[in-house]
Amino acid sequence: MMIEIQGHRGVLATRHGNTLASFVEALRLGVDAIEVDIWLTSDGQLALRHDAVIDDVDIRRGALREAVVEKCPDTSTDVDVETRTPTLAEALALMRFADATNVVLDIEVKTDGTPWDEYGQSIVAALAAVLRVHQHEQALRVRSFDPQVIRAMADELRDIPLVALSRANTGQLPGLYPSEPETLIKAALATGASAVAPEFSLLDGGLVAAAHAAGLKVYPWTLTSDDQIRRAVHLGVDGVCVNDVALARDTLAGLDRVLPPACPILLPFLQSVDSA
């Protein structure tokens, strides 16, 4: 059985997340999918960043040109020269340029876990418009913690796989999938998802078995160690979302699993001055 390697925001272990440099590194190492996060800016751009607010500036209320790139100083070397948050359109162009259209661009629609509102409707409509153009030329998938987003995407685009994201929570909030396995699976099926992506702390054999029995794939997140990856494989998951792609490849190779091919690509404008 093949285990899909999903690069979390690219390669968060060594690059700032949701940057073109991080995606290039993921492709260089070899992944089956690249997970990215999107927000909708006030000027109608689908911007790639994990957090809406950085330095008290909300990406949803500003223009793309004002949106700084996310930085992860605890896990990244400061080698990236990008300063502006990239867009989904730029990521799609990169995948075409790299001849990596078979690598899944796994797009997480970010919300605040609030009841369905105008912003939710707007970001779904903007995303659907972009994916409708690219769905036959790029491998795509959409994920969200918000069941309202997944239901709306299922109505908009029936051919793109959808993933119900779940994290540990004490109750079922309107804008979040539940964390209890049975109710998560029911909610995923009801909203049109074809997979569930539980936080690693929620993962166990019962959840995997029940999801598979319901026809759902299982993609736990975010696995950060060899032991976690091995445990997930032992439980029979379909893919792993990881920060460290090299580690995941080494672990899966040690388990005699098939690895995705490397896809090296050189973008001169992403080279730092020191390496030029």
E runs forming strands in 20-127: 33-40, 46-48, 53-54, 57-58, 104-109
Q: Report, as an integer, the average pLDDT of 46-70.
A: 94
Query: 117: pLDDT confidence band, cut at 50, 70 and 90?
Result: confident
| Cβ proximity of 233 and 257 under 8 Å | yes
Q: Which residue has the higher pLDDT, 197 or 115?
A: 197
For residue 242 the two structure tokens come to 């990881």
pLDDT at 276: 45
Q: Say how many C-beta atoms besides its own lie within 10 A of residue 57's C-beta.
A: 12
The Cα 193–Cα 151 span in angstroms is 8
Residue 173 is classified by DSSP as -
Exposure string for 140-150, b = 16+ CB within 10 A, e = fewer: bbbbbbbbbbb
pLDDT at 135: 95
Q: Say how many C-beta atoms besides its own lie within 10 A of residue 37's C-beta.
A: 20
pTM: 0.93
Residues 6+ apart with CB under 8 A from 164: 143, 144, 147, 150, 177, 184, 187, 188, 191, 193, 195, 196, 197
pLDDT at 172: 62
pLDDT at 74: 67
